Amino acid sequence: MNTMPDTLIKLGKELSKPESHAVLEPSISKAEAENPWFTRQFILKNLAYWHQHLTKEKLDAWLTEYSFPVNTPKTIGIVMAGNIPLVGMHDLLCVLLSGHNAFIKVSSKDRVLPNAIRDILINIDSSLKKRIIISDERFTNVDAVMATGSNNTARYFDYYFRNTPHIIRKNRNGIAVLTGDETDEDLQYLAHDVFDYFGMGCRNVSKLYIPRSMDETRVLDQMEAFRYFTDHNKYMNNYVYHKAILLMDQQTFLDNDFLLLREHADISSPVSVLHYERYDDTMALQQLLKNEEENIQCVVSHHFNWPGRIPFGQTQNPDLHTYADGVDSMKFLLNL
């Protein structure tokens, strides 16, 4: 009998009050000290997400899609990224639920929180001490690999693990397609899609597509909830640097003192910069996005006809059955 769902439900309950948790509270402070991008606010946001999703109802809705045969456990190497807190958590859950063992290489940017989650899981079920190994050693005796990184590291992973079953994820970004009839509230929710975790997640919106007739200043006007970013040194260093580059290159852009809105074709944009592109015809835009599909993680819109489009404000709240890059990790693991 697979008891992992019950263990994860208990984990979810443990994450309900992280500020007073014996393991999580010191880990939150230490993680923030080691990586200034991991602010307490965003660490707590991430832990709240897992608390809300590791419930019997949501786990049942996810796992009912699969059958779980009793197979010999394999060792799965997980290379976790460090762009946002606990970004490799979903991979770990998939490995444990599929009955395998996890050999994890954490990012130097996110070392503390994965270890804290491991400690809590072991406290719930001591047998997990042997099933979850976090190490700086190279993968040598793994049966499969799940790795997330930049486009450059993905090419290295593809070569290094060419003879091992693997899922290798590259850079992707979220985009938003506006129609011009969005309310101010819609655009305020969009601000979360842009700014949550400082915009560093693969699901964050880095590019807007707006109709020719829309006044793009409406977008900037509804971003005020994140003006407190002006107090964050690393974020503002990015803002000042990219603004200087745009000024030196005599580029046109809009500016609200903490975000640079720039008309540009690239889907990916650096921290503190948001790209946008105008469109005239939705059919032509659909074809354009179809050609860019490998670079798109998710599409935010109310009315644009795109499979799996999501509402404003929900990019960092995916269901458990939403897989990065559209690759079903659970199916991959169950078929090993």
CA-to-CA separations, 67 to 62, 131, 161, 228, 322, in angstroms, rounded: 11, 21, 28, 47, 18
Q: In what order do the strands lie in the sheet with 273-279?
A: 254-255, 260-263, 273-279, 205-211, 173-177, 296-300
- Say yes or no to pLDDT of 160 above 80: yes
Name residues whose C-beta falls within 8 Å of residue 330's C-beta, 6 or more positions apart in sequence: 66, 94, 97, 98, 323
- Which pTM was predicted? 0.95
Do the beta carbons of residue 56 and residue 322 sit within 8 Å?
A: no
- Say yes or no to pLDDT of 151 above 90: no
pLDDT tens profile 169-219? 999 999 999 999 999 999 999 999 999 999 999 999 999 999 999 999 999
- What CA–CA distance (Å, rounded) separates 220 from 255? 8
Domain limits, CATH 3.40.309.10, in the chain: 173-300
Mean pLDDT, rounded, for 266-289: 96
Name residues whose C-beta falls within 8 Å of residue 295's C-beta, 6 or more positions apart in sequence: 171, 172, 173, 267, 268
Q: Which amino acid is at 110?
A: D
327: tokens are 């690759």
Mean pLDDT, rounded, for 313-317: 97
72: tokens are 């010999």
CA-to-CA separations, 146 to 26, 64, 118, 161, 335, in angstroms, rounded: 29, 23, 18, 10, 14
DSSP 127-180: THHHHEEE-SSPP-S-SEEEEE--HHHHHHHHHHTTTS-EEEE---EEEEE--S
CATH entry 3.40.309.10 includes domain 173-300: yes
Q: What is the pLDDT of residue 149?
A: 83
b (16+ CB within 10 A) / e for 41-53: ebbbbbbebbbeb
- Say yes or no to pLDDT of 138 above 90: no
pLDDT tens profile 239-256? 999 999 999 999 999 999
CA-to-CA separations, 181 to 42, 50, 89, 191, 303, in angstroms, rounded: 30, 33, 37, 16, 10
CATH fold of 4-170, please?
A: Aldehyde Dehydrogenase; Chain A, domain 1 (3.40.605)
pLDDT band at 294 (very low <50, low <70, confident <90, very high): very high
- Say yes or no to pLDDT of 157 above 90: no
Q: Provide the percentage of residues in the chain whose pLDDT is more than 70.
A: 100
pLDDT band at 69 (very low <50, low <70, confident <90, very high): confident
- Say yes or no to pLDDT of 70 above 60: yes
Domain limits, CATH 3.40.605.10, in the chain: 4-170
Name residues whose C-beta falls within 8 Å of residue 265's C-beta, 6 or more positions apart in sequence: 275, 277
DSSP conformation class of 325: G
Mean pLDDT, rounded, for 9-28: 95
DSSP 279-311: ES-HHHHHHHHHHTGGGEEEEE-SS---TT-B-
231: tokens are 């107090």
